[in-house]
Structure 1
Amino acid sequence: MDTHYFQHKGICFASLLYSQERLQYLENEFHVRDDDVYLVSYPKSGTTWMIEILSLICRNGDVTWCREVPNFMRIPWLDVGGIGVKLVDEVHSPRFLASHLPIHCFPKSLFSSKAKIIYIARSPKDVLVSLYHYAHMSYLMKKPSSFDELMEDFLQGRVPFGSWFDHIKGWMQMKDKKNFLLVTYEDLKQDQRGTIKKICTFLENELEEQAVDLVLEHSSFNSMKKNNMSNNTMVPDYIMDTKNNQFMRKGIIGDWKNHFTQEQKEYMDSIYHEKMKAIDVKFSWD
């Protein structure tokens, strides 16, 4: 199956799931509610993991919902067209919605609301490796001929949802807002309990320690990999090659070290430091 992109506000989107009409509607007409919670991320930054964590927090650690309902129905994707529109429209308040949109494409009504934003970020090197494997199973990305080719496209923003650098720098404009929480994939790996409790505090939904234990247990990589409602095997085969679906591959940090040459590392580091030098945020991977 061929993958086609279209451009919206200088960003690539896969026409298989996205449309100009939906994106324009979201930006200009979609009404953000004050009790909404938006999970925002650049692709391959840990969104699926965070959806599971939020699903469990909403149910005080009870795993039943996660085992009976696919993750894309529990926390629907705001930006997706087709059935995605119906899923978003049917969510009852308080709504939990996921999005990969850069800040300049997001609904304008967000910025005059009290809605909460949880932004999950990940080391761009690990994002790139994950994107490379994802591109070989998903019809939402053009399959690169080599890792070098994808690296160059990634660094130049010629991939779906545009530049990682622009995406993260755009959303970091909100870092000092009380309705904005930055979480990194690395934070979750290195201190999952502490990070989950931080999320609970942000959501004003403090859990008992026993409930936190359940969130930890059922959002573990092994638990999610075995759960067909969470490991994306329920995704339609016109979106992903389910026969070769290794969507949940390793769930580790630092896998880039198994893929990058020294030359690639130095090249990406030089671009990273140049593009990120003006940002006043210290990330876990810096």
Structure 2
Amino acid sequence: MDKSRKVFTDLLENAAAAASSLSHDQLLFLYNGIPYPTTFCSPEVFKALESFEARSDDVILAGYPKSGTNWLSQILNDLIDISQKKTPGREGSANAKELAEFPYLEVGDAEKYERMTKLPSPRFIVTHLRPENLPKSIFKNKVKILLLIRNPKDVATSSYHFSNSMASLPSYETWDDFFTNFTTKKVPWGCYLEYLSEWNKYIDKENIMTVTYEEVKENRALSVKNIAAFFGIPLTEEELQLVVERSSFQSMKKNSEKTHGPMGNIFFRKGGVSDWKNLFSEDQNKKMDKVFEELLGGTKIGKKLKYDLYCKA
């Protein structure tokens, strides 16, 4: 396992160990009114993040938890490798391994931003944060952001299973308990529909490309091609096919022990669409539909999600 993967698995193991001494209520803390996981984030990190200096050639993936960021991370990492004349899946340079840093911007320790100044360009960065909570330098320097969104009912479903599998996150006795918290802004990184509403204000910016989980699922090759074009990465047909093959759910699940250690099966559970139908009651459907209409009805990001197609029974 190369150093970048070891950084990831070590962080998960340390978070699980730290969580074992915390009560259910201590697993989350509030910062500016939004809950975050205590074992992954801290007020000190958020304070240090304010002065983070983004580079214009950073590659940023923004997406709410369980909207497919692990999946798109692999696609973007492979595209960055190709742009640097490396073959995706092979060991990187010794220098890159030595400087490996966990890519999630708000996860880690407050000193990570100083270490990130030593990373070679382009730096790959992932974030679950709303745009108003990102460092101002990202928008000032017009860094390109790939915004990944997914239908909210599947996000809720995936989040429920994930929370109950991760020792570092609050677990729930029933789906009904989780649904109540999901719709009352009591889950990590806050309310997903509010997250979408905030990002909708940025959807027309030329440095932001919005893709949906569902469209990537439907036509991965076209999505990879469009993402590569957005970041200015030329692809041969052979390179395109390699990225597409490596990013299939079956391939990623098969390699998950190498990439995500013993928690691979937790991160790659089903990778499907419409799993929400196995959990949502009729009343819960109506509640989610109502909130969606209130916050996102008629918005560009709401239309992009094709809510009527993917979220109506």
In which range does the TM-score fall when normalised by the shorter chain? 0.7 to 0.9
State the match for 2:204 in structure 1.
176
Q: 1:230 to 1:255 in 2, by over 3 A?
A: farther
Q: 1:17 to 1:125 in 2, by over 3 A?
A: same
Q: Is the 8 A contact 1:121 1:182 kept in 2?
A: yes
User: Higher mean Cα deviation, 206-215 or 139-148?
Assistant: 139-148
Q: 1:65 to 1:40 in 2, by over 3 A?
A: farther
Asked if 1:39 corresponds to 2:66, the answer is: no
User: 2: CA distance between counterparts of 1:284 and 1:175?
Assistant: 13
1:133 positional shift: 0.5
Q: 1:201 to 1:230 in 2, by over 3 A?
A: farther
1:122 positional shift: 0.5
Structure 1's unaligned 5+ residue stretches are 235-241
**Within 5 Å, which residues of 2 pair with 1:44-193?**
44-60=66-82, 62-65=88-91, 73=100, 76-82=103-109, 85=112, 88-193=116-221
Q: Secondary structure at the match of 2:60?
A: strand
Q: Secondary structure at the match of 1:157?
A: coil
Asked if 1:10 corresponds to 2:30, the answer is: no
Identity of aligned residues (%): 34
User: 2: CA distance between counterparts of 1:162 and 1:58?
Assistant: 30
1:103 positional shift: 1.4
State the match for 1:263 in structure 2.
283
Q: Is the 8 A contact 2:69 2:148 kept in 1?
A: yes
User: 2: CA distance between counterparts of 1:271 and 1:109?
Assistant: 32
Q: Give RMSD over aligned pairs.
A: 2.4
TM superposition outliers: structure 1 runs of 4+ over 4 Å: none
Q: 1:108 to 1:92 in 2, by over 3 A?
A: same
1:15 positional shift: 1.3
Q: Secondary structure at the match of 1:152?
A: helix
User: Higher mean Cα deviation, 52-61 or 87-96?
Assistant: 87-96
User: 2: CA distance between counterparts of 1:230 and 1:179?
Assistant: 33
1:250 positional shift: 0.9
User: 1: CA distance between counterparts of 2:258 and 2:146?
Assistant: 20
Q: 1:171 to 1:279 in 2, by over 3 A?
A: same
Q: Which has the higher helix share?
A: 2
User: 2: CA distance between counterparts of 1:64 and 1:229?
Assistant: 16
1:228 positional shift: 3.5
User: 2: CA distance between counterparts of 1:154 and 1:255?
Assistant: 16
1:198 to 207, 226, 233: 226
**Cα displacement string for residues 180-208 of structure 1 (whole angstroms, at most 9, x for unaligned residues):** 01011001101111111110110000201
State the match for 2:8 in structure 1.
none
Amino acid at match of 2:190: G
Q: 1:39 to 1:84 in 2, by over 3 A?
A: farther
Q: Is the 8 A contact 1:141 1:159 kept in 2?
A: no
Structure 2's unaligned 5+ residue stretches are 1-19, 308-313
Amino acid at match of 1:56: D
Q: Is the 8 A contact 2:77 2:124 kept in 1?
A: no
1:23 to 35, 46, 61: 46
State the match for 2:296 in structure 1.
276
State the match for 1:237 in structure 2.
none
What's the TM-score, normalizing by structure 2? 0.81
State the match for 2:306 in structure 1.
285
**Within 5 Å, which residues of 2 pair with 1:201-220?**
201-220=229-248
User: 2: CA distance between counterparts of 1:17 and 1:30?
Assistant: 18
Q: Secondary structure at the match of 2:108?
A: coil
Q: 1:88 to 1:223 in 2, by over 3 A?
A: farther
User: 2: CA distance between counterparts of 1:65 and 1:5?
Assistant: 36
Q: Is the 8 A contact 1:5 1:13 kept in 2?
A: yes
1:65 positional shift: 4.4
Q: Report the count of equivalent residues.
A: 274
What's the TM-score, normalizing by structure 1? 0.88
User: 2: CA distance between counterparts of 1:212 and 1:193?
Assistant: 7
